[in-house]
């Protein structure tokens, strides 16, 4: 394996059943998981769990804590000094609870590790061990959503949704998404049509998720319990060819109604009920018949084919992952409840596939083939991730002496051509949407244009978050008229007076009828010392004369004067309209020169 690659281990596991019998299952499950970790010697581990806590989460809280503690304190993970755990545990919040758990373990040999802040649209360094549990709605380093209830109209209450994180590992950026889709509630309903109504509901939910990720513009690994089922309608038709059908009606209710398929010797071959699917040749994950075994079911695994334009998957050379017996003495036996299916999957976007070194080290398989892991056996992908996969530049400039560092709009990203504004997983709110469409995410990186970076993005979780790019501001619009403070006014007047002492006095005529109105307005402002004086309220002048200090003593009140001193300003009008108001400027200093304004 190349020195610039990172060995990763991605695992999806529906752990609901191990919390139903924690005394028997919890330790066994953890030991099997840790044995895989030890054998593969990975440096980055992503464990996505569904149904954390089982059906009775309130009673299983302490077992969830013990589950996390066993993993974090294990000898196999002692060198993983950086840990990020996200546990959605707030079961009291019906509108948000998903029972999803994302656990990430990073080896101490990886120093360049960052996690994305979806709220502030920045990468944050990962240090130490952090556990986010309980109500995690406000945690910014994850995106979580519960699917709308109308996606699963047959279900009164659902915990299905997704939980996403974004990472930068040694310069390679990608998303890791935990997802849980709805199951088949009834075998009878599932076998009515092809595809079933459940399959259509899952399709809607997954389309909703992919659209939220902008159709694969960002490299992502999508692994969880998809609940993909083999086409029950087609499977039943295949395995019941030439058999006799007998419907056994229950006297209680339809939930206990069954359909028996028998051969000519009246031997029961298949029994189907609402939650029963019993067939002798499909009971084991190990081939028991040349013609009827789990591999024979593979052509009926069709649900993922609908998303080939968005995601891909490595060949599945392993038996269906569900539904296994929860008996520790029957680790390789399927329960007679559902037709065996590949529910647990690891799908990757086409852009993410470019980040994988596809050599002999790649391994995609079930975990615990000979160990009881609950009704779902975990599925894992062991692969080598390209390190420092590349940088997409937002402009064509090169580094000159005047540009010793990259410009702020350049940012590292995966080795695929991606609009940099997509890193925050946002959509343009501008009308120039053609720039976004022109970005080809399936090719290796090429220079992208400045216009692509000028979009103001939209983030699903935080509609008020803004692009890290500074907005272009029209300089003509940036000019604003602001009020002038008394202190600034004083300094300006002093400067004018000092410059005028060297020149002849200037005489400026004005209308005296405006004096009274101007004085009253000014007094209102000066009475409030917290306000600045608007320029528009300053009295206009008709005569500006320079006088010496001795002239101040000889000035009569017949002249209109403004006396600016440390404590006050006196404003006097002419003989006909004589008003005197003391206007105070806080912080004014004594003047060395004086002026008369009439």
Domains, in order of start, for the chain: 5-229+302-386 (3.60.10.10), 391-480 (no CATH), 486-597 (no CATH)
Distances (CA, A) of 60 to 52, 126, 190, 268, 328: 9, 29, 32, 40, 20
The predicted pLDDT at position 143 comes to 95
Minimal CA–CA distance to 349: which of 380, 309, 317, 304?
A: 309
Q: What is the dihedral of CA 457, 460, 461, 463, to 10 degrees?
A: 50
In contact, 236 and 249? CB cutoff 8 Å? no
Q: What is the pLDDT of residues 75-96, one digit of tens each?
A: 999 999 999 999 999 988 888 9
Distance CA(311)–CA(307), nearest Å, equals 6
- The residue that leads in pLDDT, 517 or 314, is 314
CA 411, CA 364: separation in Å to the nearest integer? 32
399 CB neighbour count, 10 Å cutoff: 10
How far is it, in rounded angstroms, from Cα 109 to Cα 4? Answer: 12
Residue 226 predicted with pLDDT over 70 = yes
Q: How confident is the model at residue 466 (pLDDT cuts 50, 70, 90)?
A: very low
Helix (H) or strand (E) holding 34: helix 22-40
Least confident window among 66-80, 292-306, 324-338, 487-501: 487-501
pTM of the model: 0.66
Q: What is the mean pLDDT of residues 309-327?
A: 93
Proportion of the chain above pLDDT 70, given as a percent: 62
Contact 171, 489 (CB under 8 A): no
Structure tokens at 573: 């009008």
CA 373 to chain centre: 31
Cis? peptide before 299, omega within 30° of 0: no
pLDDT for residue 502: 60
* pLDDT at residue 488 in the model: 78
* In the predicted structure, residue 360 carries a pLDDT above the cut 90: no
The mean per-residue pLDDT over the stretch 165-182 comes to 95
């Amino acid at each position: 394996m190349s020195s610039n690659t990172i060995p990763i281990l991605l695992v999806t596991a529906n752990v609901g059943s191990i919390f139903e019998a924690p005394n028997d299952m919890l330790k066994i499950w953890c030991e099997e998981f840790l044995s895989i970790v030890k054998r593969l010697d990975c440096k980055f581990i992503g464990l996505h769990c569904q149904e954390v806590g089982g059906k009775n989460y309130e009673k299983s809280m302490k077992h969830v804590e013990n589950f996390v503690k066993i993993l974090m304190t294990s000898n196999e993970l002692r060198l993983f000094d950086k840990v990020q755990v996200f546990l959605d545990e707030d079961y009291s919040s019906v509108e948000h609870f998903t029972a999803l758990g994302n656990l990430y373990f990073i080896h101490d040999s990886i120093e360049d590790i960052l996690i994305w802040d979806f709220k502030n649209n920045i990468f944050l360094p990962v240090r130490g061990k952090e556990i986010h549990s309980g109500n995690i709605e406000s945690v910014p380093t994850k995106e979580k959503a519960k699917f709308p209830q109308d996606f699963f109209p047959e279900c009164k209450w659902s915990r299905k949704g997704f939980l996403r994180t974004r990472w930068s590992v040694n310069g390679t950026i990608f998303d890791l998404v935990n997802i849980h889709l709805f199951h088949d509630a009834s075998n009878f309903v599932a076998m009515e049509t092809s595809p079933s109504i459940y399959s259509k509901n899952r399709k809607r939910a997954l389309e909703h998720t992919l659209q939220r990720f902008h159709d694969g513009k960002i490299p992502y690994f999508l692994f969880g319990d998809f609940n993909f089922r083999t086409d029950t309608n087609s499977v039943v038709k295949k395995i019941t060819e030439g058999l006799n059908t007998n419907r056994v009606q229950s006297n209680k209710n339809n939930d206990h109604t069954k359909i028996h398929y028998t051969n000519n010797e009246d031997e029961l071959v298949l029994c189907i009920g609402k939650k029963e699917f019993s067939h002798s040749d499909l009971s084991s994950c190990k081939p028991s018949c040349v013609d009827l075994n789990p591999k024979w079911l593979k052509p009926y695994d069709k649900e993922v084919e609908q998303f080939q334009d968005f995601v891909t998957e490595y060949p599945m050379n392993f038996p269906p992952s569900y539904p296994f017996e929860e008996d520790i003495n029957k680790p390789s036996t399927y329960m007679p409840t559902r037709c065996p299916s590949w529910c647990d999957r690891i799908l990757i976007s086409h852009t993410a596939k470019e980040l994988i070194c596809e050599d002999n080290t790649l391994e995609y398989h079930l975990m615990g083939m000979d160990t009881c892991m609950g009704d779902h056996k975990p599925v894992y992908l062991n692969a080598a991730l390209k390190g420092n996969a590349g940088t997409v530049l937002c402009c064509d400039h090169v580094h000159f002496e005047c540009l010793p560092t990259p410009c702020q709009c350049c940012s590292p990203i995966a080795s695929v051509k991606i609009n940099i504004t997509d890193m925050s997983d946002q959509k343009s709110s501008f009308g120039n949407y053609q720039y976004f469409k022109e970005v080809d995410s399936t090719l290796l990186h090429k220079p992208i244009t400045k216009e692509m970076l000028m979009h103001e993005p939209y983030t699903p979780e935080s509609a008020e978050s803004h692009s890290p790019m500074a907005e272009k501001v029209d300089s003509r619009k940036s000019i604003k008229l602001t009020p002038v403070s008394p202190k600034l006014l004083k300094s300006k007047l002093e400067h004018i007076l000092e410059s005028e002492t060297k020149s002849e006095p200037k005489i400026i005529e004005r209308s005296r009828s405006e004096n009274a109105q101007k004085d009253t307005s000014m007094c209102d402002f000066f009475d409030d010392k917290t306000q600045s004086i608007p320029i528009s309220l300053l009295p206009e002048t008709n005569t500006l004369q320079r006088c010496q200090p001795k002239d101040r003593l000889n000035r009569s009140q017949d002249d209109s004067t403004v006396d600016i001193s440390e404590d006050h300003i006196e404003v006097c009008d002419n003989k006909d309209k004589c008003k005197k108001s003391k206007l105070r400027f806080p912080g004014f200093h004594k003047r060395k020169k004086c002026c008369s304004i009439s």
